[in-house]
Chain A
Amino acid sequence: MTKTIEKPDAPNDAGRRTFLKGLAGAAGVAAVTAVPVSKAAQAKSIPLEMFKVAPAQVTPVGGELDPLERMRGELVRALEKPVNERRWVMVIDLRKCVGCNSCTISCVAENHLPPGVVYRPVIHEEIGTFPNVSERFLPRPCMQCDNPPCVPVCPVNATWKRDDGIIEIDYDKCIGCRYCITACPYNARVFDKGFVYNDVPPEPVVSTAMVGSEAAEQYEVVPTFEYGEPRTREAGQSPIGNARKCHFCLHRLEKGMLPACTTTCIGRATYFGDANDPDSLVSELIASPNVMRLKEALGAEPKVYYLQ
């Protein structure tokens, strides 16, 4: 069985790179290295199998499999199970995080987040007093709580916990009352007030020295794929006026791809996988004695674990 996904609907790597580049230019952040777009990625359609790389197919470098390759293999394995048997969790190793914000930016690029909307900020904390000081970086995605405080408060059933544990939002049902935002103890839900980086439709730029300005212009025009639905940004239309949050890149997971934050983490500090699979990397990691979760006392049972 070969499922295909159509371009431009497919969130392929080339698209992401271009976006990343565009965003870097638009935001004036450090320029991101341009990666040549492969011919395969330019093709009209991409077979789903392309994303399915089993561990056995990958030749380990230096005898050890890159955690990303291992997790991709485990992801494909989990996708073969029924949805209710998967349990997606994220593990973030705080000792490895260097605070580069790649995850934040890749998430923004992946989901075409507008100004004021962020799914995965990285909190910088200074610990200690001089001369004994250190810095800690704490990425904060949605915790996808097992006992989510945001779900029961929604007056119109527009948000719920999926069988695989991800908290989903129905953008077309959400009335934008923001009760869920007040109920989240992690500030993980945000309100899309309707701001845009560019004019929609974009004004043609005559000349600019900005790296990636062409891609940046298209930022609001090209659709996002959150929850598997292609959406372009239009005034007054959802997700403007909605509550939004991280969804572990559900649209990518279903295509056999790891969340954007996980693949772009330069220090391999973010791990992702199925905690119901005893052989998965995340299952091993969350059994460590140095594992912790944020605000454990509230009883929300978050599914984002931190190693410290």
Chain B
Amino acid sequence: MNEKTNIWLKVLWVVAGIGFLVGLYGLYARFVFGHMRTDYGSYVPWGLWVAAYAMLIGISAGAYVMASIIFILRRKDWYPIARAALGVALAAFIGGMIAIFLDLGHPERFYELIFSTNFRSMMGLMAWLYSFYGLMLLLLIWLSWTREDNPWLRRLGYLSVPYAILFAGAEGALFGVVGARPLWESGLTPLLFLVEAAVSGVAAVTVVSYILGYLDKAKAAFLGRALLILLLTNLLLIWADFSTALYAGIPAKSDAIRSVLFGDFWWVFWIVYMLIGVVIPLLLLAFRPKSVGAISLAGLLIMVTAIATKLSLVIPAQTQAELTGLERAFTGPGLKFEYFPTTSEWLLYVWIISAAVLIFLAGFVLLQRVHKEAN
């Protein structure tokens, strides 16, 4: 590890540490006030934490597929990146699970998801898919850090790629099957989740590889090309979904899309996502295709704005009143069609992300020792 890497790692430790400490208030508020200090409720039941969960699971699945492909292709020179990718996958997965666990009204009953599963529910199905995913992830981490030439890495890799595609697609289907929310209900939603998972996963691995000093020019250029193709594919899917719905003009869906594009939170889509998360990274990747720094910066921008794409999908679908005038019929906390996360919600979000980063860093230090002893 060179000096530059050391500095970046230290910065990451400090930033995540501060985020963790500041975010503790969000955790405190969640435990003491339950769901009373949140802005979601009855008409907008899912908020920032659900979006965070969807984003983190996407990053996890994307990073996991990337590692699996490296193992399948037996690219030994990429193995350090694959191991880092598995670390990213595990940390994001744990973060996503914490987010959805704390979002539950009765987290203490989470075991019902396994012991009383309804397999007709995408969420029930996901509970099992997550369990196996977690086990496979741990197994791959163990194998990859202890013995590099283990033939099981490749075999599990073959299993992992289709499994992660099923998994990330099912995550999208969780939203895609909800007929009551026209913005979600689309055959494109699972595909969109898949591509977003790949984009954000590869972006996160690029950033982490840069920080750890694993990126040479060739590797960075390859990751840059992958990111460019994935970003363009993502844009194509969004275009297909939005343009057809706007052209058809059926209000239930086109109104929701208009609210994404031109509503109160237009800046989430146009500024945070489109400008910072797509256009600037695309320019960096297209015009600086060989610069390690530019490609890593593009990855960083994609990674930190990944929450915006999920927020643009999760929230506007719920802010369209299903029955006009309902919000004026009876008032009370949570009986409204507007949503903006409260300070407590933001702080818990910061805490979860920081916790995920700390898990990655701590795991990395630990596994590096294991790796040194094993090899």
The listed residue (B38, B103, B178, B318) touching A193 by CB distance below 8 A is B38
Taking A178-B46, A241-B34 as contacts, is the C-beta distance between A190 and B334 under 8 angstroms? yes
Contact A125 B180 (CB under 8 A): no
Closest to B120 in A: A152
What are the residues of chain B within 8 A of A195 when measuring CB–CB? Answer: 36, 332-333
A122 at the interface (CB under 8 A from B): yes
Q: B123 near A174 (CB under 8 angstroms)?
A: no
Is B330 part of the binding interface, using a Cβ–Cβ cutoff of 8 Å?
A: yes
Residue of B with least CB distance to A140: B323
Counting chain B residues whose Cβ lies within 8 A of the other chain, the interface size class is 35 or more
With A118-B330, A187-B326, A193-B36 known to touch, is A181 a contact of B45 (CB < 8 Å)? yes
CB-CB contacts below 8 Å: A234-253 with B: 235-236, 238, 240-243
A173 to B43 alpha-carbon distance, docked (Å): 22
Q: Is A184 an interface residue (CB 8 A)?
A: yes
B372 within 8 A of A: no
B105 and chain A: residue at smallest CB distance: A176
Q: State whether B43 touches A187 (Cβ < 8 A).
A: yes
Q: A104, B179: Cβ atoms under 8 Å?
A: no
* 9 nearest A-B pairs in the assembled complex, by CB-CB distance: A176-B105, A241-B105, A121-B329, A190-B42, A155-B124, A155-B123, A116-B332, A185-B180, A178-B45
Chain A residues closer than 8 Å to B42, beta-carbon distance = 116-117, 181, 187, 189-191
Chain B residues within CB distance 8 Å of chain A: 33-36, 38, 40-43, 45-46, 103-107, 109-110, 112-113, 116-118, 120-124, 126-127, 177-181, 318, 321-326, 328-330, 332-335
B329 adjacent to A193 (CB under 8 Å): no
Partner of B332, one of A115, A153, A194, A236: A115
Digitize A97-136: 1 where CB-to-B-CB distance is under 8 Å, 0 elsewhere.
0000000100000000001111001111100000000000
- Enumerate 5 A-B pairs (CB-CB under 8 Å) in ascending A order: A175-B105, A178-B105, A179-B121, A183-B179, A187-B323
Which residues of A sit under 8 angstroms from B116, Cβ to Cβ?
Answer: 156-158, 173
Chain A residues lying within 8 Å of B330, measured Cβ to Cβ, are: 104, 118, 121-122
On whether the beta carbons of A175 and B110 are closer than 8 Å, the reply is: yes
CB contacts (< 8 Å) of B112 on chain A: these are 156, 158, 173, 175
Nearest chain A CB to B98 CB, angstrom units: 15
Contact A194 B323 (CB under 8 A): no
CA distance A298 to B36 in the complex (A): 33
| Contact yes or no, A175 B104, CB < 8 A | yes
Q: Which A residues contact B (CB, under 8 angstroms)?
A: 104, 115-118, 121-125, 138, 140, 149, 152-158, 173-179, 181-187, 189-195, 235-236, 238, 240-243, 294, 298
What residues on B are CB-neighbors of A104 within 8 Å?
329-330
A236 to B30, CA, bound (A): 12
Asked if A183 and B104 make an inter-chain contact with CB atoms under 8 angstroms apart, the answer reads: no
User: In the bound complex, do residue B36 and residue A152 qualify as a contact, i.e. CB atoms below 8 Å apart?
Assistant: no
Contact B46 A123 (CB under 8 A): no
CA distance A262 to B286 in the complex (A): 67
* A93-B41 Cα distance, complex, nearest whole Å: 30
Residues of A within 8 Å of B326, CB to CB, are 121, 123, 140, 187
Contact A194/B34 with A121-B329, A175-B109 known, Cβ cut-off 8 Å: yes
**Contact between chains at A191 and B104 (CB < 8 Å):** no
Complex contact B329–A191 (CB within 8 A): no
B126: chain A residues at CB < 8 Å are 155
With a CB–CB cut-off of 8 A, which chain A residues contact B329? 104, 118, 121-124, 140
Q: Are B180 and A182 neighbours in the complex by a CB distance under 8 Å?
A: yes
Q: Is the CB of A184 within 8 A of B117?
A: no
A242 CB, nearest partner CB in chain B, Å: 6
Q: Which chain B residues lie closer than 8 Å to A187 at the CB level?
A: 42-43, 321-323, 326
Closest B residue by C-beta to A193 = B35
- Closest B residue, CB atoms, query A187: B322
CA distance A140 to B323 in the complex (A): 9
A178-B46, A187-B43 known; A123-B325 Cβ under 8 A: yes
Distance, CA A139 to CA B318, complexed state (A): 21
Q: A138-B323, A153-B122 are in contact. List 16 more A-B contacts (CB 8 A).
A: A115-B333, A124-B325, A140-B329, A155-B118, A177-B104, A181-B42, A185-B179, A187-B43, A187-B326, A190-B41, A193-B41, A193-B333, A195-B332, A238-B106, A241-B105, A298-B180
A186 touches B322 (CB 8 A): yes
CB distance from A292 to the nearest CB of B (A): 14
